[in-house]
Structure 1
């Protein structure tokens, strides 16, 4: 048969011989003649191994992150958080229970005095730590935890979280949780956004790290250094069942915060308030 009498498809295939190799062209021509698609044969190793290879392929690879549940594949975008149908925190026998919380520490100058006052009156409080401060004051972090106080996450560098990308929020919260867990042996279960500025990213990322957000109901504004009497007055006027008081033990001159606690804490206890920390359900 002359070249100009060959079917176009067969002529094209033969022209590919030099580039693809004779064996490849033979298979392609055979497929064209039979009118059936070409199927690549299984590698010899797979044929020899048989069911063992198939069994191995059903197991997750060691270097791959596994989903939290076997039934759900990993997602690259976070799911919409479920709507809560019940509180995620509770104050047992709430009565006249209150919560005292301190942000930005620990500070080696002020935090020990606050801990001394709390220990003197045998009460527990919440400390929302900045990661960089915790990293530089590990002994204080251990003391906070060892004395029964709740250690929370307050980001690494105290940024305005709403201005950060998702990766930025993850870094700020993740690094802080890691250093707290390294020092205390347990990751924090609570976090508080710097400046109280939350957004969807921080809620979702915090939840993914196993933390619940904690805000406040009474702001002492002690960071403005308004005077000890002013801080005491704000706490006394805002006192009530379930109230969460915001104060600071670092981030500036906190001598007024230390002095104010020495005044209002015994007064609250004398008035029948029970100073405690919330429990997760």
Structure 2
């Protein structure tokens, strides 16, 4: 998708998607297909400013399970949700940082550098067509302990596609992520936050949980570095999932803003986490 098209559609669609309310406060919680609350394991904390300890990259690199061990039980099928997950457990002042639309060779490396400087892990929701052109950045995400999710192949508005087209967008992206990152993605985010029944059903069939966000930095509007900083700092709260972007337009403001708001969050006592791997 061309940058100008992405910018125009994002301005119209994300404004509506941002109206989503927060859901659940213990574990990753959203409404299930029958309205029943569904709870996933709470994410493991990452050390804050008082206890940042260097961790070996090999501890994070996710590898496919191989070998001649005893057969394992078939994985439990995911329940089909009717709403995406909007926040995480806030116990212990946990928050989660997420970045959409990449990877991008101009902006993603700077964001990864800043996260590494503060020993912080984040989630990156990747577009398949960007992965093809930037496989080294995806490998770096794996090596440095970041979690990646599926953000479709071309970033389309899913509500305008047929079920077959949605399946292709999601399936191709999961395949290239698995080949590049080392593991099948376990999380999915609909472009523009535009969800429909097919997206929820197909995501669950592909073993992916749907994740939205709590706080939108509005960096997709390029509102100015100070506005992005204020959005994050004023929106910070236990359980919050922050939405930022490392591609899809000029993200220089995002790159500059993270230098300010990331140390602010850490100094304020927040623990920035990623979801645990589902076995």
Secondary structure at 1:87 match in 2: strand
Aligned residue for 1:155?
A: 152
Paired residue total: 202
Q: Which residue of 2 aligns with 1:90?
A: 42
Contact 2:44–2:273 at 8 Å: present in 1 too? no
CA displacement at 1:188 relative to structure 2: 0.2
Is contact 1:90-1:280 (8 Å) kept?
no
Equivalent residues in 2 for 1:168-179, closer than 5 Å: 168-179=165-176
State whether residues 89 and 280 of structure 1, in contact with CA within 8 Å, keep that contact through their aligned partners in structure 2. Answer: no
Structure 1 outlier segments of 4+, above 4 Å: 80-85
Match in the other structure for 1:140: 137
Q: Find the aligned partners of 2:178 and 2:35 in 1 and give their Cα distance.
A: 29
8 A contact 1:227–1:256 mirrored in 2: yes
Which residue in the other structure is 1:266 paired with?
263
Residues 203 and 213, structure 1, Cα contact 8 Å, conserved in 2: yes
User: Which residue is equivalent to 1:279?
Assistant: 276
Q: Counterpart of 1:108?
A: 105
Describe the shift of the 1:90–1:125 C-alpha distance in structure 2 as closer, same or farther (beyond 3 A).
same
TM-score normalized with structure 2 length = 0.70
> TM-score, normalised on structure 1?
0.69
Question: Which of 164, 167, 170 is residue 164 of structure 2 equivalent to?
Answer: 167
Which residue of the partner structure matches residue 76 of structure 1?
A: none
Structure with bigger gyration radius:
1
Decide which of 219, 234, 237 is 1:237's aligned counterpart. 234
Partner of 1:200: 197
Q: Give the corresponding residue for 1:190.
A: 187
Equivalent-residue separation in structure 2 for 1:261 and 1:137 (angstroms): 22
1:251 to 243, 248, 253: 248
Paired residues of 1:81 and 1:204 also in contact (CA < 8 A): no
Q: Which has the higher contact order (CA 8 A, sep 6+)?
A: 2
Distance (whole Å) between structure 2 residues aligned to residue 130 and residue 99 of structure 1: 20
Deviation of residue 239 (structure 1)? 0.2
Deviations 1:144-203 (A, max 9, x none): 111100010000000000111110110000000000001122110001000000000000
3-state SS of 2:243 partner: strand
- Compared with structure 1, are the counterparts of its residues 184 and 91 closer, same or farther at alpha carbon in structure 2 (3 Å cutoff)? closer
Task: Tell me how far 1:272 sits from its aligned partner.
Answer: 0.4
Q: Separation in 2 of the partners of 1:141 and 1:207? A: 23
Distance in 1, Cα, partners of 2:260 & 2:196:
36
